Amino acid sequence: MRGKLLCQGAEAKIYEGEWLGKNALVKHRFSKTYRLAELDSHITKERLKNEARALTRCRMVGIRTPIVYDVDFITSELIMERVENSITVRNLMYKYAEDDICFDDEAVPMASQVKNLATKIGSVLSKLHKNNIIHGDLTTSNMLVVEPYDSSEIILIDFGMSSMVEKAEDKAVDLYVLERAILSAHPKSEGFVSILLEAYEKSGGRAAADTITKLNEVRLRGRKKLCFG
């Protein structure tokens, strides 16, 4: 049952909810009027299924995500755990910036809690990709931490664009999307990204190293696109 609207994105609305006496979140995928009704219904169902499967598979391999309580294909709703006492990594990084905690170690040594955060993100993404799960929309807004924030594990959310893929190319694109999102949302975060990627490669062995190699190729293509359109 839907309660108060908490937020809305391009694909869905998130509501407060309840499931068998537990606090929950209800993610409602709304229809897109510009699509043919049959196509829209198919896409919505597939994305609901993909998200539920990805969230469940993550938990099976030891990556924390919200627990899936139910999927309703008639109302296009995903009912899941509400992670209490949590904030997004994006907001945590803003909090660090407000407190003048350093992100880049070129001029001032990077703060230990920032290094720790970057390392944890890199490690959990390496585990994600080791299990061939592509998130599809990695940003610091799609990661949560719970109190106490500095010692919290990373909780991944919003798998609506996820897929199961083995190719290093797709994993590299996943990382590239995150890299661009971090550098755009968090000024002077180059050092943070470097530590994140070092942790990713260290945790994932040869396969992760192959993905980093592909990431360099994806970056080059991105720069060429910016230069030449």
Distance CA 212, CA 173 (A): 10
* Strand-pair partners of 156: 143
Residues near 216 by beta carbon (within 8 Å), at least 6 away in sequence: none
Task: Confirm whether 137 is a catalytic residue.
Answer: yes
Cα(107)–Cα(102) distance, integer angstroms: 9
> At residue 174, what is the residue type?
D
Q: Are strands 86-88 and 155-156 parallel, antiparallel or unpaired?
A: unpaired
Residue 25 · residue 70 · CB < 8 Å: no
CB-based contact 102:91 (threshold 8 Å): no
Q: At which residue do the structure tokens 């470097």 appear?
A: 194
The residue from 99, 104, 105, 137 that is catalytic is: 137
Quote the CA–CA distance of 141 and 182 in Å, as a whole number: 10
What residues act catalytically? 137
